Structure 1
């Protein structure tokens, strides 16, 4: 177990501040009393852009603050953990490559029902929330591979947020347009298997593999950790 008595509380201040700022920024816009006025002032497009930039900036700060926090180990690192991360990240990158920019009425980041073809749903047949699913894979796999307290808190909370967020969106969309939502889910499940994907999806998949290889090559320089470490032995 980590020895908290050996680490001054002041060493955790940046991590706690970044963590609080990140989750407040994600919780506050969900409040109708704040979200509606912001959209009126900024417009839908302005709100989306500002919120996205703010979220990415706070996430970057949170990750850097986590890396600078005291390393209180809860469990040790082992080479098999890197294998788990490599597999999970391959799945996460391919999910994003095959779904980003495609209409998806079931989750955020996609078009509405009018732009969605339920006879060619792609991965949406099985994964209604591809962005959140990829985030959950990234967070939970990195949780296993990073056994110090700060990273356990970071990746554990991000993974929980991604999983809980899927349930919250399902409930909201189900309540808002129940009949249409059910009809589209049924049509998506009934789509013939050979019609699920489009020819462009092959190129999307190849682009995803290129992005995955690039992430592996850049990870040591950007993050300071080699994801292939310990696998050769």
Structure 2
């Protein structure tokens, strides 16, 4: 469980610098340059992600089960992951209607992903991981909304509806890939349980 907690703290902490200390983030960018900061951010994010995944895998076998979710919660989670995947893809593309309406589709994707997995898992490690990401997503959305009000961040501007079509097609393909084995290969748990 220690690696999971360290990975969570590193990932959430590093990705919250903009919220906690915008001036500190700008000072780091000034010191290392934009490209240097992006490299540092990428490396720390990757290390944190590896710690998260590895730590979560270890913690799942060590932590107690706090509740046993009914099977139907897994089906709800599977359905919730469809909009999560579509929003994830939309966040990486120029703005279509999905991106302009959701404003910050990556944050929404994280919140939906966390909620879906939170309702379908009952072990302590899962609750810690997914509740932390859900809370972080809520805080991040509020912080981004305030940053928009201050003029520091802007909402996406519509470019073309074709990016919605791409988001839906690629999002559904990614969702199908996860169900058909990618989730089990990456995480070690099959998403389809009957």
Structure 2-normalised TM-score?
0.83
SS at structure 1 position matched to 2:40: helix
Query: Residues 3 and 54 of structure 2 are in contact (CA less than 8 Å); yes or no, is this contact kept in structure 1?
Result: no
Q: Going by fraction, where is helix more abundant, 1 or 2? A: 2
Cα shift at 1:90: 0.8
User: Which residue in the other structure is 1:41 paired with?
Assistant: 31
C-alpha distance in structure 1 between counterparts of 2:112 and 2:147, whole Å: 23
Whether 1:19 and 2:11 are equivalent positions in the alignment is no
C-alpha distance in structure 1 between counterparts of 2:105 and 2:26, whole Å: 26
Q: 1:167 aligns with which of 123, 142, 167?
A: 142
After TM superposition, the structure 1 = structure 2 runs for residues 102-181 of structure 1, keeping only pairs within 5 Å, are 102-103=94-95, 121-176=96-151
After TM superposition, the structure 1 = structure 2 runs for residues 56-67 of structure 1, keeping only pairs within 5 Å, are 56-67=46-57
Aligned length: 190
Whether 1:212 and 2:175 are equivalent positions in the alignment is yes
C-alpha distance in structure 1 between counterparts of 2:34 and 2:84, whole Å: 28
Whether 1:97 and 2:86 are equivalent positions in the alignment is no
C-alpha distance in structure 2 between counterparts of 1:66 and 1:203, whole Å: 32
Runs of 4 or more, structure 1, over 6 Å off, are none
Structure 1, unpaired ranges of 5+: 1-11, 104-120
User: Which residue in the other structure is 1:224 paired with?
Assistant: 188
Query: Residues 87 and 167 of structure 2 are in contact (CA less than 8 Å); yes or no, is this contact kept in structure 1?
Result: no
Cα shift at 1:21: 2.7
Cα shift at 1:33: 4.8
C-alpha distance in structure 1 between counterparts of 2:89 and 2:9, whole Å: 31
C-alpha distance in structure 2 between counterparts of 1:18 and 1:229, whole Å: 28
Most deviating of 129-138 and 56-65: 56-65
Cα shift at 1:27: 3.8
Cα shift at 1:100: 1.8
1:41-87 per-residue CA deviation (whole Å, 9 max, x = no partner) reads 32223313431342243023123212212221111033212111111
C-alpha distance in structure 1 between counterparts of 2:128 and 2:169, whole Å: 34
Structure 2, unpaired ranges of 5+: none
RMSD between aligned residues:
2.7
SS at structure 1 position matched to 2:193: coil
C-alpha distance in structure 1 between counterparts of 2:9 and 2:76, whole Å: 29
Whether 1:202 and 2:142 are equivalent positions in the alignment is no
SS at structure 1 position matched to 2:86: helix
Structure 1 residues 209 and 17, CA, compared in 2 at 3 Å: closer, same or farther? closer
Structure 1-normalised TM-score?
0.71
Report the structure number with the largest CA radius of gyration. 1
